[in-house]
Structure 1
Amino acid sequence: MDEEYDVIVLGTGLKECILSGLLSVDRLKVLHMDRNDYYGGESASLNLVQLYQKFRNSDKPPPSLGPSRDYNVDMIPKFMMANGQLVRVLIHTDVTKYLAFKAVDGSFVYTKGKIYKVPATDVEAIKSTLMGIFEKRRARKFFIYVQDYNEADPRTHDGMDLSRVTTKELFAHFGLDDNTIDFIGHSLALHRDDRYLSEPALETVKRFKLYAESLARFQGGSPYIYPLYGLGELPQAFARLSAVYGGTYMLQKPDCTIEFDEEGKVRGVTSEGETARTKKVVCDPSYARNKVRKVGKVVRAICIMSHPIPNTNDSSSVQVILPQKQLGRRSDMYVFCCSYSHNVAPKGKFIAFVSTEVETSEPEKELQPGLSLLGPVDEMFIDVYDRFEPVNDWTLDNCFISKSYDPTTHFETTVQDVLAMYTRITGKVLDLSVDLSAASAADE
């Protein structure tokens, strides 16, 4: 502790571990501390006994669920877009050598009370039962336009400047109906509400292209990949990376207190009577309660099942997005399922999560539309947590605080936060122009 560091990172959640890895690769001297005796913080993966200890105050799960050690249950379950920013970060840092991934079987959307496979190409649009015959033709034209769109080549723009044309105007240009717009916006472009409709269409088209490119990458049933043994592997992989580049790790450090000088700038972190000196601190909201504000609440059901989610082609791993409009809500609902195929449960067991932003005083009841899609459930645990975001001015105090994890079941918002924090800490933009073929997802 009695040393000077370039950066001290508090908490070993995924965001903090990615940042300590990136900063260590930049040859900064990093000290990484956590009050817990395990990696992962809020984004840890738990075995069955740990799950029961957390939610039931018991360490005796029923034998019918199988061996505890065969479970790796994510507390913040999220899939990765195969061509997305997180995969680029993994390749940029060479963390891929510590991890094995497998493609996710299915990507579905909930419309008019039913689950449908998300069509992502012009060919899939024609085959999809989501739309009537005339709408299929209109959707196909839109899909071809997006696939061919090249920002640098005006010939592909069809006379539209997408940095000015709103997304709503773009959809109107192709005559798409509300249901088609709903699944394109929420399950392909992964927008979390409908504000995007009045914003320039370019961002939505880029998101759409990312989805289609990710889908094509592994020729699977979805654009997503997921690590074998769960997401708990990710923070540990970045911690390993940081250590390789000279980062120092200290777990089980209680009462980590950020110290400030008389000007209000960070000067170090104290734990157990010792102070490590630094001019910059990175942390999750729990280490800086007086510098964050509550912005919402997430409710999540964790369900152990003995079967795949019905109507998903018996997929052993799957995402289902329930757009807000279909539920009469202000925010989307997300269903995530994985199983023994990703080594997160014993053979024949499936772990499903239903999560959303809390909108009422009865969070559990809000999950009902998602839970009703699952079929019989062996065991269910409910987790409700507050979401925080920083309110401090990091230019004045040098304290860089991550946002809490939202209910989305993909990593796009998480990585945006990490990359923005990296730029604030270092003053530079992370170069993610990498060779994507350097990473592959296992076939088996």
Structure 2
Amino acid sequence: MSEPPQYPPVDPTTFDLVVIGTGLPESVIAAAASTSGKSVLHLDPNPFYGSHFASLSIPELTSFLNSSSAPPVSLSSSQAADGATEDPKFSIINLSCRSLYSDVEISSLSPTLLEECSRKFLLDVSGPRVLFCADKAIDLMMKSEASQYVEFKGIDASFIGDGNGALSAVPDSRAAIFKDKSLNLIQKNQLMRFFKLVQGHLRATAAAASTIDENQNEEGEVQEAASMISEEDLESPFVDFLTKMQLPPKIKSIILYAIAMADHDQENREISKHLLKTKDGVDRLARYQSSIGRFANAYGPFIYPIYGQGELPQAFCRRAAVKGCIYVLRMGVVGLLVEKSSGSYKGVKLASGQELFSNKLLLNPAFTISSPSTSPADPLCVKSPHLTVQTVKSKVVRGICITKRSLKPDISNLLVLYPPQSLYPEQFTPIRVLQIGGNSAICPVGMFVLYLLALCEDGAEGKKLLNGAMSALLAFPDCSKSDSVVHDENVSQTVGSEEGKPALLWSALYVQEMQTMGRSDFITSTPTPDGDLDYSSLFDATLELFQTMYPNTDVFPETSSSEEHGGENLES
């Protein structure tokens, strides 16, 4: 076992907040706390920023997934300082690292080709992820000024896929609807009328809520009321409202899964867990359409960080550092300092043996607190902090594939969505596939990375979902033929000739557990990466967590320069 790096002692030794892990939620909270004047120490046992939101090379990702899928390990404080005398004032509660990943399966179908450039990839651990151009995540980055430290590329196109490998463009705007050759004239008119209805409802709702024109005439009020969707319809399932609007199945599927981004089958009431309400569906449509054209160099609704999503936590870390936050990587925390007399949390003990003190502690979701005692007579058994974390039954299955050809000629960055039952009858959840090319600096030019995601109950079910999408999109080498894998330079020609599909060169499939936030007294745990395509819910949960920790503190107070950096880091 290699010796941990020798660090000089951390100075000062007392902080308002100690944060363990540099994932996106931890980094946002560290930046918000630092901006509000709190003294913050930010630690990470990894040699890189981002934790479960990092972008890593192939060797780094392989090592991280394998180590993170191992059985839970107790980080005993005895490992930190052999021979140290027992502290008369504090007891040490050990931290444990638990596994967030399972069913890890990594395959290299072109080892020689990838060996030459394996460290030139930046692969997202929790992909696929994009940002809506008009999303609150973008607004938060502007407000916090973290947008100064990250640049973006637009996602060029979105497609709906089927089991035959066909990809149809998502008609998400007036121009796209009229260009779409897969829709007949009646379907185009139906879709246009529905979009106009939604836009009219949004305008009427905004006007009704506005107090600018208090003298609006009665005729205008009647017109607005007629344009609004009824309250009864807003509370009904969105799929029922689409049926009421007499939209055909194909149009409903596009709206539900490619624009409103529903996570579950909305048609099958027997298995559907979350039926999207009409009011939420309308809000999602509004976000989608308002995202189109917001930035000059992003023609669609989505953008993606250059150098990978790992740039987002780093951007907030840089912002926190500007405000005085102290960062130490490769530094683990082996235990919590708990006062013997009261059982109260007081600080942490580092792997170096140093003891640091803080008012609050924020933990990466992979860390859990070990039970210090089982004796009722021990005050620590009753008073020591324990995190109550609820594990979500649904899991997220994620996949990463590397190819040398794009799924669509001349399109580098694109999104593919497979609605429920589009690949096979037992597919009850949508599958999302994000392709990113070398122009986003996450892989060598001429190569492409595909990120796949689906919600599942277990690993076998999840892998069946992703394998279905991979089979529809990619060509696989025939492992029974020795020359199918040996001659790497010919892989894209010999294997990719199957129906013109790109050849799969490397893949990783893994199942990630999801859990809610945990909180106990002065210790809080951040949420795991969720199964969403965007960051909206994650940022909502993170900001809610910050307000719970600091209820009387503004989150990134407005400054005169906040709006100056809006779109200047978008690249064409």
TM-score (norm 1): 0.87
Q: Counterpart in 2 of 1:145?
A: 197
Q: Could you tell me how far 1:53 is from its partner in structure 2? A: 4.9
CA distance in 1, matches of 2:565, 2:252: 32
1:438 is aligned to: 566
Deviation at 1:323, TM superposition (A): 2.1
Instruction: State the alpha-carbon separation in 2 of the partners of residues 198 and 14 from structure 1.
Output: 29
The partner residue of 2:404 within 283, 287, 306 is 306
Count residues with an aligned counterpart. 439
Distance 1:360 1:49 in 2: 26
2:545 equivalent among 412, 421, 427: 421
What are the ranges of 5 or more consecutive residues in structure 2 without an aligned counterpart? Answer: 1-9, 67-105, 209-223, 267-271, 370-386, 475-500
Q: 1:339 aligns with which of 422, 437, 441?
A: 437
- The one-character-per-residue Cα deviations of 1:38-90 (angstroms, maximum 9, x if unpaired) are 111122111244345557799x9634565344321211221111111221111
Closer, same or farther in 2 for the Cα pair 1:324/1:371, shift >3 Å?
Answer: same
Contact 1:189 1:208 in 2 (8 A): yes
> Structure 1: which 5+ residue stretches go unaligned?
none
Identical columns (%): 23
SS at match of 2:300: coil
- Alignment-mate amino acid for residue 465 of structure 2: E
Match of 2:46 among 36, 41, 56: 36
Do residues 175 (structure 1) and 246 (structure 2) align?
yes
Give 3-state SS (helix, strand or coil) of 2:141's partner: helix
Query: Do the aligned residues in 2 keep the contact of 1:285 with 1:388 (CA within 8 Å)?
Result: no
Counterpart of 1:12 (choices 22, 39, 52) is 22
Q: TM-score of the superposition, structure 2-length normalised? A: 0.69
Q: Is the 8 A contact 2:147 2:565 kept in 1?
A: no
CA root-mean-square deviation? 3.1
Does 1:267 find its partner at 2:346? yes
1:102 to 141, 153, 156: 153
Using the alignment, how far apart are the partners of 2:455 and 2:510 within structure 1? 10
Q: Which residue of 2 aligns with 1:364?
A: 463
Q: Deviations over 1:3-38 (max 9, x none)?
A: 332222111112211221122112221111111121
Q: 1:41 to 1:350 in 2, by over 3 A?
A: same
The Cα of 1:180 is off from its aligned counterpart by 2.0
Name the residue aligned to 1:76: 126
Structure 2 distance, partners of 1:266, 1:356, is 39
> Equivalents in 1 of 2:410, 2:193: separation in Å?
31
Q: Does 1:405 align with 2:566?
A: no
Q: CA, structure 1 residues 107+419, in 2 after alignment: closer, same or farther (shift >3 Å)?
A: farther
2:243 counterpart SS class:
helix
Report the counterpart of residue 210 of structure 1 in structure 2: 287
Kept after mapping to 1: 8 A contact 2:153/2:306: yes
Three-state SS of the structure 2 residue aligned to 1:203 is helix
Alignment partner, residue 292 of structure 1: 389
Instruction: In structure 2, give the amino acid aligned to 1:321.
Output: L
- Looking at structure 2, the residues matched to 378 and 326 of structure 1 have their Cα atoms a distance apart, in angstroms, of 22
Counterpart residue number, 1:316: 412
The answer as to whether partners of 2:391 and 2:515 remain within 8 angstroms in 1 is: yes
The question of 1:117 aligning with 2:169 is answered: yes
Counterparts in 2 of 1:174 and 1:259: CA distance versus 1, 3 Å:
farther
Q: Mark the CA change 1:125 to 1:258 in structure 2 (over 3 Å): closer, same or farther.
A: farther
**Paired position in structure 2 for 1:62:** 112
For the 8 Å contact 1:109–1:321, the answer to whether it is kept is yes
1-structure distance, mates of 2:344, 2:179: 59
Decide which moves more: 324-333 or 95-104.
324-333
Residue 430 (structure 1) shift? 4.3
Amino acid paired to 2:172: A
**Alpha-carbon distance in 1 for matches of 2:337, 2:509:** 32
Matched to 1:102, the amino acid is K
**SS, match of residue 277 in structure 1:** strand
My pick for the range that moved more, 223-232 or 380-389, is 380-389
Instruction: Decide which structure has the larger Cα Rg and report it.
Output: 2
Partner of 1:257: 335
Shift, 1:160, TM fit: 1.8
Do the aligned partners of residues 415 and 231 (structure 1) sit closer, same or farther apart at CA in structure 2, a change above 3 Å counting? same
Q: What is the 5 A alignment of 1:159-238?
A: 160-161=230-231, 164-193=235-264, 194=266, 198=275, 200-218=277-295, 220-238=298-316
Corresponding residue number in structure 2 for 1:376: 502
CA contact (8 A) 1:126 1:137 kept: no
